[in-house]
Amino acid sequence: MLPLITHPAYDIPLPDGHRFPATNFSALMQHMERTGLLHSFEIFHPEPASRQDLKITQHPDYIDAIAEGTLDPAALRILGLNWSQVLANRSFLAVNGTLLTARKALERGLACHAAGGTHHAHFAHGAGYCVFNDLAYTATRLINDGAVGNVLILDCDVHQGDGTARILQDNVSVFTCSVHCRENYPARKALSDLDVEIPKGTGDEGYLAYLATALEEIDRQMPRIDLVLYDAGIDVHEGDRLGLLNLTYEGISRRDSHVIRHFRERSIPVATVIGGGYGHDIREVAARHASVFQSAADMG
């Protein structure tokens, strides 16, 4: 059975009508239970990260402000979430959820986090619904611990992984690749090690061609990869409320299967995170997020 990392405290309490799907995380678990997909997985829960742990990739003052609820209104507006003790707790849990997923992937080859992909979080501030950057934190910790020599972060969320790119810009052991829609947030893009900018309105075939080119380029630039962190954001879907690409569910499924197969065929461990996905119907969004778990189960 494949490791699946989750926590009952992952949901974020938000006012009705907020654009972030607050009960996304429990809805995804319920969807997988309903469809039987959960039977393919063994479930693990993370422990919260400590403030000390997080200092490797987040500013100490920012960590304290999240823990204590002292972020100023301007910072909260950029973050896009209302502060609550529940939000603080789940933020410390979710970063370690991605770390645990990566550790399980190193043991077993493949593991999935039912959260994660908070790639807009920067060193000293949150942004775009992202409190702490789980991808930068996980990659940096595993390298510092000597668990891996290098990490590839392959970010296929429709939005650029700008926070990840900036936090890791001087870390030569992490290769950041962002495959995103050119016209989507953020307006001012960061510089990843490899950015693949896809024009808005691109559908399945066009998207998968860009992805194939990105994987070839990664093969060229990284002769050896110890671990892949794969952000399988589903805001590339044609029905997404924020994303400007036009992938079908089938296109997303082909993307996820292609990425996982590509690296597993080379015996490279893959840890997946769910990334973004936005819609009015929480069950529909959950079904889209399930794609990467289905692809992993089919492969596992």
Q: How many chain residues are in contact with Zn ion, going by CB under 5 A? A: 5
In the stretch 228-257, what mask flags binding to Zn ion with x, by CB under 5 A?
-----x-x----------------------
Tokens found for residue 88 = 């603080």
CB nearer Zn ion, residue 104 or residue 122: 122
* Shortest Cβ 135–Zn ion spacing (Å): 13
* Shortest Cβ 285–Zn ion spacing (Å): 12
Q: Which span (45-53, 156-164, 170-178, 190-198) binds Zn ion, by CB under 5 A?
A: 156-164
Burial pattern 13-42, b for ≥16 Cβ within 10 A else e, equals ebeeeeeebbbbbbbbbebbeeeebbebbe
Q: Which of 11, 134, 157, 240 binds Zn ion (CB under 5 A)?
A: 157
Rounded distance, CA 256 to CA 295, Å?
6
CB nearer Zn ion, residue 37 or residue 242: 242
Subset of residues 276 to 295 that bind Zn ion, contact rule: CB under 5 A: 276
Q: Which span (27-35, 171-179, 260-268, 269-277) binds Zn ion, by CB under 5 A?
A: 269-277
- Select from 280, 256, 221, 271 the least CA-distant residue to 117: 271
Q: In the chain, what is the straight-line distance between the N-terminal and C-terminal CA atoms, in Å?
A: 8
For helices 282-299 and 249-264, give the axis angle rounded to 10 degrees.
30
120 is catalytic: yes
* Shortest Cβ 235–Zn ion spacing (Å): 4
Task: State which H helix or E strand residue 282 sits in.
Answer: helix 282-299
Subset of residues 51 to 110 that bind Zn ion, contact rule: CB under 5 A: none
Rounded distance, CA 30 to CA 52, Å?
34
Tell me which of 120, 180, 237, 289 is the catalytic residue.
120
**Phi/psi at 125 (5° precision):** -160, 155
Peptide bond into 186 cis (omega under 30): yes
Tokens found for residue 184 = 């989507």
* Shortest Cβ 123–Zn ion spacing (Å): 20
Q: Please tell me whether residue 116 binds Zn ion under the rule CB under 5 A.
A: no
* Shortest Cβ 25–Zn ion spacing (Å): 15
Residue of this chain nearest to Zn ion (CB atom): 276
Which residues share a beta bridge with 4? 43, 112
CB atoms within 10 A of CB 276: 29
Q: Which of 159, 180, 189, 237 binds Zn ion (CB under 5 A)?
A: 159
- The dihedral of CA 93, 95, 99, 104: what is its sign? positive
CB nearer Zn ion, residue 157 or residue 204: 157
* Shortest Cβ 243–Zn ion spacing (Å): 7
Rounded distance, CA 273 to CA 82, Å?
23
CB nearer Zn ion, residue 21 or residue 48: 21
CB nearer Zn ion, residue 193 or residue 235: 235
Could you list the active site residues? 120
Kindly list the residues in this chain that would bind Zn ion in the complex (CB under 5 A): 157, 159, 233, 235, 276
